[in-house]
Amino acid sequence: MSLAVLRSRALAGMAAPAVSVEVHLANGLPAFTIVGLPDAEVREAKDRVRAALQNSGFTIPPRRITVNLAPADLPKESGRFDLAIALGILAASQQIPGEQLARYEFAGELSLSGELRPVRGALAMAFAMHRHGDGVQRAFILPRANADEAALVTDAAIYPADTLLEVCAHFAHASHGGADARLARHRGQALAASAEYPDFAEVKGQHTAKRALEVAAAGTHSVLLIGPPGAGKSMLASRFPGLLPPMSDDEALESAAVQSIAGSFSAQRWRRRPFRSPHHTSSGVALVGGGNLPRPGEVSLAHHGVLFLDELPEFDRRVLEVLREPLESGQITISRAAHQADFPARFQLVAAMNPCPCGWLGHPSGKCRCTPEAAQRYQGRVSGPLLDRIDIQLTVAAMPPDGIGAQAEGEPSAAIAARVAQAHALQLARQGKPNQRLAPREIDRHCRPDAAGERLLRAAMQQLHWSARAYHRVLKVARTVADLEGNEHVAAEHIAEAIQYRRALQEH
């Protein structure tokens, strides 16, 4: 046999399309060619594969070797195809039996010694193989370092290996009728949820801010904290993930898949809400993702978690504007001339900013010397359309010096999180989604206030000149306030509290 066909997977956004690795040996001068739209890493595979085969004791056939990665119009990147290429050469040259190869998919980068190195996106590939295959149930052979990650896909047949020789021995043993496979199926570890977040009990005072963050956590609402330096904005934000309800199985798997594609998956963070805090010098590509072969950015790495943007006006305005789409849709589409990639981006935005360039506007010390025009220009760095999409905009006042030591320890995160989980479960039972994700028709059905609440909200709209989007967002926040109290109906007091959460910038 001079032709061998194996299966592997590429990465295209969150998808992992199947790739056929076709290896053909032909007569002629010795050569090694890889076709099928490979990038530089894939083209370099011929040097890695040649050295790995020689150092593993195999013979490089002195023939014309052609490797085709199909489909030809799908870009191929990284060293994930090394293992499949090496096995294809061995099968085509009859150095290993090839009868069982069709029952497996392969991914793994080869070292020059023949050891298997981990690859990016193992979880996404295992998920695609098991859930979105062609109807044929195949096993997945990959580096041992990726085994725990890939085994998170329930019922996927994962067979980890350390070296190329181990994989070859597996097929040689199977061809001779071996009852026990050389590679053992990996069952994975029972990973417990990890929730090592700082505790809200450490935050003294700031009762209004804590209440607002509790409401935000219960309804997955976005938050903007405005206040002078040292008021506790960053301290509050860093403790916010500890209030969020536990991740469901699907949420945990989706979040882990994004981390896997970015190459940053860690079993220690399984079921832990992501908390991403990019610096204000981050570029647009770093925030939303991109590149010639698109990779997820911070908004996707924060999927089902928190994206914290400190010093919000210091971000480039064009960078901030790209947040408008994912805040509405929960996903980001990165388009390139040849192809596009979709990444999930259902995050909770928590942002913080000073009220003026010096930061001390409204501070009791009176240290601010900024003119009203300078403060307005500073606040104007955050566009109106973006602010309109932030549900809760709250002033965090500075703590008086004589009150810091006198304040009692605050309520622990566990107690707040219990109320949040109860309100979140109520929302899922009523409408199947958190309040923040309600569509306009669903808002009319589930968030309609009583007559007094409707009059109060319309008066606030006229006085504060709110948009229709702001009207809907206040209703959704009020619905969350009612859920935290266990009320079936939205009353005037719930509307009043929600209105107070959108007046911060008007106060400065």
Would you state the pLDDT for residue 129?
A: 87
Query: From CA 224, how far away is CA 233, in angstroms rounded?
Result: 9
Going by DSSP bridges, is the β-strand pair 18-26/3-9 parallel, antiparallel, or unpaired?
antiparallel
Would you state the pLDDT for residue 270?
A: 84
Residue 79 CA from chain centroid, whole number: 23
Query: From CA 225, how far away is CA 169, in angstroms rounded?
Result: 60
pLDDT < 50 stretches in the chain: 179-180
Contact 71, 109 (CB under 8 A): no
Lookup: tokens for 228: 């002078």
Query: From CA 289, how far away is CA 283, in angstroms rounded?
Result: 10
Q: 375-429, pLDDT tens digit by residue?
A: 999 999 999 999 999 999 999 988 776 656 656 677 899 999 999 999 999 999 9
Would you state the pLDDT for residue 363?
A: 83
Would you state the pLDDT for residue 103?
A: 92
Would you state the pLDDT for residue 203?
A: 86
Would you state the pLDDT for residue 179?
A: 46
Helix axes 492-500, 468-484, angle to 10 degrees: 120
Would you state the pLDDT for residue 220?
A: 95
Indicate the pTM of the whole model: 0.87
Hey, what domains does the chain have and what are their CATH numbers? 3-175 (3.30.230.10), 200-417 (3.40.50.300)
Would you state the pLDDT for residue 344?
A: 92
Exposure string of 286-322, with b = 16+ CB inside 10 Å and e = fewer, is ebbbbeebbbbbbbbbbbbbbbbbbebbebeeebbeb
Would you state the pLDDT for residue 303?
A: 95
Token match 């991109």: residue? 290
Q: CA dihedral in degrees (193, 196, 197, 201; nearest 10)?
A: 110
Going by DSSP bridges, is the β-strand pair 116-117/306-309 parallel, antiparallel, or unpaired?
unpaired
Whether the CA torsion 206, 436, 474, 314 is positive or negative: it is: positive
